[in-house]
Structure 1
């Protein structure tokens, strides 16, 4: 079976390829800049790195690995080659997507903790706000389980095209949780800053950037999940991985 059977046209195949190339290029640039800005050549330097900066670095690595791996599956091995390869498509999507979102939530929780802490020396485990954020993030474990249970992967009998995705109850659960946690954490971060009347230009810049980043990430995730739900979770493999890749790219570049 030829590799491009899953693409309706060569134009869409080229477009999908360009999305992967652009994604890996942008993420490589962002990752290299992040690595250059950090001291990570020794264990001591890694231990001194703040958790927020570590989360950002891990998000870039996670996103890069997903785009790289999905590119190999789509344009190297071919999702339509075997059912095992087709199944790998949804597994890497769920695995990397879940870890990326988890790291982003942890990053937002860290920002919330910093703006709500009465002092720099405040401890996270003694902060009710931080513990509340961690409690909400812990619920994500249930969402991940639902994603794994609701996965879809098969080779369509009519033409052998790889179809992957999530069942409607799984994608809607993920969408609902993602909207909820992002809105709550973003508002919790912005509220103390807004109460300060934004007299500090730096705080105002941070608030605007956070609001724009959150809005852009939510928009991309919502569109992807709604499209998946409208298709009842059955998407061509290259389309599903490409959509996830665009979500990875947008979310990580906004950090």
Structure 2
């Protein structure tokens, strides 16, 4: 009988995408540290209530470069891990879609906080590409409305003040309970309910690895903590996993 291959769950946060030019939020040089007022641009109440907040939010999206960013060595390492034949699932807090762009099969990626690559009308719920809305901003529309009903467009991301999709969260919980190794990469592990996943993994008997530049609440419980830059640390860790040396 063939032995069961260990399931690897990888939780990724903003830190994995910083080398792609996408700034993080909570790090020492993160967006919220540099401009605390920017947080209201991704908070659902002010966003829906204030056209000026929406105008500034569209400018932030225009300048962020998330849609033109390219995957880096960290994203590519996880694709290499998946292609090695080891069972892998990526649970990501990121909304940039870089795991899929790197070549990770979409069915193996759970986007816990949604995607910035699409927008949705809050009134009629029609979905459209974000790139199309940004073209309208570039053409002079400071707050592009839904073409179908005139409603407010918002990114298909989970804003502050919104709940995570319960179906996606349930899927992440199931993967976490089933995994043998849980790797947390580039995430502060401070935002719940996602921050509860490492604890669920530990309670289910999984080993835990933390790859992050700053301390996290789970460092003491981890089997290994890696502080090196993610774009070098993650490829090295993947090589060890593929070689069966972990």
Give TM-score, length-normalised by structure 1: 0.31
Tell which structure's C-alpha radius of gyration is larger: 1
Q: Between Structure 1 and Structure 2, which shows a larger proportion of strand residues?
A: 2
Structure of higher RCO (CA pairs closer than 8 Å, 6+ residues apart): 1
Q: Between Structure 1 and Structure 2, which shows a larger proportion of helix residues?
A: 1
